[in-house]
Amino acid sequence: GAVVSQHPSRVICKSGTSVKIECRSLDFQATTMFWYRQFPKKSLMLMATSNEGSKATYEQGVEKDKFLINHASLTLSTLTVTSAHPEDSSFYICSATLVGEQFFGPGTRLTVL
Amino acid sequence: AQSVSQHNHHVILSEAASLELGCNYSYGGTVNLFWYVQYPGQHLQLLLKYFSGDPLVKGIKGFEAEFIKSKFSFNLRKPSVQWSDTAEYFCAVKGGYGNKLVFGAGTILRVKS
């Protein structure tokens, strides 16, 4: 199947700093990528839909100024958590669509101190 | 809004026991249904999916699921589990407004050897 990678796999940062997470589709082009957040013992919550060459579509309750998404190419979407706070600590997962099926990245564990 | 419920958050079975994980969804229209598995330390992988046709769907590693439209259910089954099936299992549904993939809370399966 198609492969989606994320970088970094883990990141620890200080409160107030910004963190960028990359999502790449390695062997296919993806016009649409999705960013999810997974809380402990809870489901994956869709944060936003990233569209190549246009603005991302954010879900209700997700701050677009805090979670900046850039989908600059058909193989790369980035999520930047700006001015991170401890409550932003979470597991962030991206996925990319190929022929109607979503393939998921391995996730990024963000810890904000 | 579409919602997905998984009945058990933790299931513990002995090897060779039969498995059934429940999944119910709320949207009454046309849906696409998925089961994903996340092995420890790995990313989400598709186990099986239902789009249309035979409501009994066979997936990888001996898993199957049955779509029962009247019950809004898509339960996952395996006749005889193995220790290597230890993982977290997510039911997901696509359909309704926005046609987004909505996940259940997940079921952690531990198989004792």
Say yes or no to pLDDT of B43 above 90.
no
Q: Tens of pLDDT along B53-103?
A: 999 999 999 999 999 999 999 999 999 999 999 999 999 999 876 678 899
Q: What is the overall mean pLDDT for chain A?
A: 92
Say yes or no to pLDDT of A98 above 90.
no
Closest Cα partner for B89 from B75, B109, B113, B68? Answer: B109
Closest Cα partner for A64 from A51, A47, A78, A76? Answer: A47
Q: By three-state DSSP, how is residue B38 classified?
A: strand
Nearest residue in chain A measured CA to CA from B37? A104
Q: Which residues of A touch B104 (CB under 8 A)?
A: 43
Q: Tens of pLDDT along A54-88?
A: 899 999 999 999 999 999 899 999 999 999 999 99
**How many angstroms separate the CA atoms of A100 and B65, rounded?**
20
Say yes or no to pLDDT of A16 above 90.
yes
The single-letter code of the amino acid at B14 is S
- Of the listed ranges A20-29, A38-47, A68-77, the one predicted with least confidence: A38-47
Question: Which residues 43-102 of A have a C-beta within 8 angstroms of B?
Answer: 43-44, 46, 49, 93, 95, 101-102
Q: Which residues of B touch A102 (CB under 8 A)?
A: 101
Using 50, 70 and 90 to split pLDDT, how confident is the model at A53? Answer: confident
A42–B105: do the CB atoms touch at under 8 Å? yes
Mean pLDDT along residues A25-39: 92
Nearest residue in chain B measured CA to CA from A97? B101
B47-51 contact pairs (CB < 8 A, 24+): B47/B76, B47/B89, B48/B76, B49/A101, B50/B74
Question: Apex CA A98: angle with CA A26 and CA A33, to 5°?
Answer: 70
Q: What pLDDT score does A54 carry?
A: 87
The single-letter code of the amino acid at B87 is A
Q: What pLDDT score does A40 carry?
A: 75
Is the Cβ–Cβ distance between B75 and B89 less than 8 Å?
A: no
